Structure 1
Amino acid sequence: MLIVADENIPLLDQFFEEIGTIRRVAGRTMTPADVRDADILLVRSVTRVDQALLNGSRVKFVGTATIGTDHVDVQWLESQGIAFACSPGCNASSVVEYVLSVLSVHAEQRGLDDWTELSVGIVGAGNVGKRLATRLDKLGFDIKVNDPPREAAEDADDFCSLDEALACDVITLHTPLTKQGDHPTRHLINTERLQNLHEAQLLINTSRGGVIDCDTLNARLVQPDAPRVVLDVWEGEPEVDEELANRVWLMTPHIAGYSLEGKIGGTEMVYQALCRFLGLPVRKKSGQFMADPALSKLSFTSSANARDAAHVAIRACYDVRKDDARYRRVFKLSDGERAAAFDAMRRDYPVRREFSSTKVQLKGGAKELQQVFKALEFKLKL
């Protein structure tokens, strides 16, 4: 059995070598010739999987080690009897912690002693948006959640209008990229909505680049009352508009979900789905391959201020400014080199561990300290 896989999927050998022969290919440039004789295809978000890629192949199972599926023509796969699996929620905690790091730095730069003074509008309440809302609510933030499809199916009182979400101090986008249906999200943040945002607001996009009209955003950011913007995803990536990159506050190369737990979790979920498809026992678990974290423990005494301690712990585990600085250096390269560097940064991304891998020891810690670290989902040792 031949497994053709994106070369950037972690732990391919460890999870799949007992199932078949693995052929690694570059995901962004994958061609029909690459997959023609494959039985299994494993991809990430950079590969468009559709009739053009698979027609005439013998592929019977497609797995994407990502939470998003907009790069896969699921309906066509179904019509051809090709099984499909994705990895919903695999990197949700990683994206949530990226947003928390951004909020931590933003609050500091705004001179806020209490970051929960920021109201947060969450657009999209899937795996990421829902987990973010839960953590922020436990921390004491005022949150507004917009998700029309979920509002129609669930308790409407839990949701707000898009305009209400966009009126918050911070707006963070967590929608899929859709072009059709009752609630398309392509260019959801358009000219009018961008114009209504102001300089005291922060807009974060970790969903898909096309959810924001980036041409309009570029023009908006030269105006004196423009909002502060953080982009992890970009229209047309790996090609990124240099002017836009220079105008956003923080920029990263689509790595918000790139914690080690998130990446390995995506591989594990596809492995489990393939085992079910083939009728094989599930013998591998991600925990088998997880090394000890570089930062295993943080310790705070009873004299620690809960909010200050939270910021120290968040940035010790992940400081988004490091990825921003690393990516900005890429823009010293030529246009063609920058696109290659975008993918290289994702391929060679340094190990980042989630908060849950770090034990926080509270020596005589006050109840407020305990509540904060429980809300952030650190391991707690009293």
Structure 2
Amino acid sequence: MKILADQNMPLVEQYFADLGRVERFDGRSLQSDQLVDVDVLLTRSVTQVNEALLNKANKLKFVGTATIGVDHIDTDLLTQRGIAFTSAPGCNAVAVAEYVISSLFALAQENASSIEGKTIGIVGVGSIGSCLRKKLAALDVNILVCDPPKHEAGLLAEHCDLDTLLAQSDIVTFHVPLVKTGKHSTLHLMNKARLAALKSGVTLINASRGDVIDNHALLELMQGGAALDLVLDVWENEPTILTELLDYVRFASVHIAGHTLEGKARGTQMLYQALCNIEGLKADKSLADFLPKPSVTDVSLQDTFTLADLGQLIHLVYDVRRDDGILRRHLALQGFDSLRKNYPIRREFSTVNITGAGDYAPTLRELGFNILNNGHIGDY
């Protein structure tokens, strides 16, 4: 098979080389001519897979996107053409949840405050929102959730309507797909009116899709003196973002919330498993075969450790301020896509084994850390 894969997708050769010949492509500049005689297309969110791209795809039988979202894929077209398709739901859920948690503790440190007792509104409780909800439940916070489609399907009894959630939350974080039309459209879900209605001091986090928040309306609001703490990983019109908004954003990054080494590799693995299933082959490769050992693996906590020290532990693994600094210092020279393509390695909380957790073991375990008991991962 001829396999065409996005240049930013990790471990493709390691997983797919036994299945065919792998060639790489630039996700934003892929042309229809490049799909001639291609059997398998492996892509990410920056590539629009539509009629214009596929009009010369004479052999294509499988399309996979190593992302949760599928708004860049014309799935109806693939069905019409009999082309198998799979996404990677949940592949980067842990990564995005940890991005949000790192941001919350960084804001708490800089504001000399605490997230304890805060009300956190999660908009969208799919794979990512559910993962974040589970992690936050280990902390002393109040959680509100909003997901109208899930609620209407009877899958979310605790649903809170969006405007009520916005009015009651100290922190609002978005984890919805981009839906441009229909009853549950998320395009400019945070429009000028909703942004203006936010109470002073709210933290607004977007690690879903840039178009969920009207960036121009947000800029106008901030220029007018609104007191909001903004954490933006995604932007309208990527890679040509509204740079004027950067002056008002506390932590900004280049659409990398889900880009842990584990998160990206999980996406590749899921596509490999799906293709093997279609081809009737045994999927006998796993992440453990390929991921390098992290630079920090073992942490010993002392008796003096309390949850007030939790931010230090979290930022030992990942501090969102690193990525904010990279964007601000290098965006003008290198550009959004280049920074995203060359994103430095980031690992997940699960790569750290903790001893001496004591009474804090359940909390740290729920956040994702490995808790060691007598040198072995397990319960206290």
Q: Which band: TM-score by shorter chain?
A: over 0.9
In 2, distance between residues paired with 1:44 and 1:152?
30
The residue aligned with 2:233 is: 232
After superposition, the Cα gap between the structure-2 partners of 1:155 and 1:27, relative to the gap in structure 1 and judged at 3 Å, is closer
* Residue from 312, 318, 337 that aligns with 1:343: 337
Sequence identity (%): 42
In 2, distance between residues paired with 1:211 and 1:155?
23
The residue aligned with 1:149 is: 149
The residue aligned with 1:82 is: 83
Q: Secondary structure at the match of 1:349?
A: coil
- The code of the aligned residue for 2:344 comes to P
Q: Are the equivalent residues in 1 in contact too, given 2:2–2:21 (CA < 8 A)?
A: yes
* Residue from 323, 337, 362 that aligns with 1:371: 362
In 2, distance between residues paired with 1:194 and 1:88?
29
Q: Are the equivalent residues in 2 in contact too, given 1:199–1:228 (CA < 8 A)?
A: no
The residue aligned with 1:278 is: 279
Q: Are the equivalent residues in 2 in contact too, given 1:176–1:185 (CA < 8 A)?
A: yes
The residue aligned with 2:314 is: 314
Runs of 4+ in 1 over 6 A off after TM superposition: none
Q: Secondary structure at the match of 2:347?
A: coil
The equivalences for 1:83-98 within 5 A come to 83-98=84-99
The equivalences for 1:251-266 within 5 A come to 251-266=252-267
In 1, distance between residues paired with 2:319 and 2:219?
25
**1:280 Cα shift?**
1.2
1:343-369 CA-to-partner distances (Å, cap 9, x unmatched) read: 22222211111001101111xx441x2
Q: Secondary structure at the match of 1:157?
A: coil
In 1, distance between residues paired with 2:288 and 2:338?
26
In 1, distance between residues paired with 2:331 and 2:221?
21
In 2, distance between residues paired with 1:244 and 1:37?
44
Q: Are the equivalent residues in 2 in contact too, given 1:139–1:375 (CA < 8 A)?
A: no
The residue aligned with 1:177 is: 178
* Residue from 346, 361, 378 that aligns with 1:352: 346
In 2, distance between residues paired with 1:144 and 1:191?
22
Q: Are the equivalent residues in 2 in contact too, given 1:220–1:226 (CA < 8 A)?
A: no
Q: Secondary structure at the match of 1:261?
A: helix
Q: Are the equivalent residues in 2 in contact too, given 1:144–1:164 (CA < 8 A)?
A: no
The residue aligned with 1:158 is: 158
Q: Which runs of 5+ in 2 are unaligned?
A: 374-380
TM-score by length of structure 2 reads 0.95
In 2, distance between residues paired with 1:206 and 1:97?
11
Q: Are the equivalent residues in 2 in contact too, given 1:35–1:54 (CA < 8 A)?
A: yes
In 1, distance between residues paired with 2:362 and 2:319?
22
In 2, distance between residues paired with 1:3 and 1:271?
11
The equivalences for 1:33-182 within 5 A come to 33-57=33-57, 58-112=59-113, 114-154=114-154, 156-167=156-167, 168-182=169-183
1:150-195 CA-to-partner distances (Å, cap 9, x unmatched) read: 1111255311110122120000000000012221000000000000
Q: Are the equivalent residues in 2 in contact too, given 1:306–1:372 (CA < 8 A)?
A: no
- The code of the aligned residue for 2:312 comes to V
The residue aligned with 1:288 is: 289
Q: Which runs of 5+ in 1 are unaligned?
A: none
- The code of the aligned residue for 1:215 comes to H
The residue aligned with 2:10 is: 10
